[in-house]
Structure 1
């Protein structure tokens, strides 16, 4: 099964983005261990999670919004999505402990399939 885990926003001014989006949505904020991620969740538990990640590239140089899809069986979902027309993003550089795989939809929009 596949579900939207989060809508991810890349931000160069990370503190300002966290401040803006948490206030705009009236969401609670939890900062990641490294301080370069923030996880925003609705106070009533019904809204979609929004994650903000620190980026260095300007918006014109890098896609800054994408979906994180949570998968119970990551390998099976990646195979299914590739059969549906998604493509792998071979130039993506993964961290050693990455729990996600970056794919592109048929129009070239990136999204991540994450182990849930």
Structure 2
């Protein structure tokens, strides 16, 4: 049996990405450790999937093949909170007619979606 243990995200600036994702997800560096080329973030409140940030020179994809879907029951508030942390709204050309998601980019330009669990 396999389980997802860690999701790895390529970033250009480890410290900037660590600051953003730590605040966005309420995660902390594993064992309090953060290096210039690699850090593993874990949930501050207990078990959960870890997020590793890996130094990368690969350019960000406009339409990434893999991305995060972050679920919330208060999409408007969470989008505003993430934008206040440094995320940017993405002018997404693939929105359906009545989307339940908002596309944002993190401080490194990586796209992710904020999904409204109350979308009706």
Q: TM-score, normalised by structure 1?
A: 0.46
Structure number with the higher strand fraction is 1
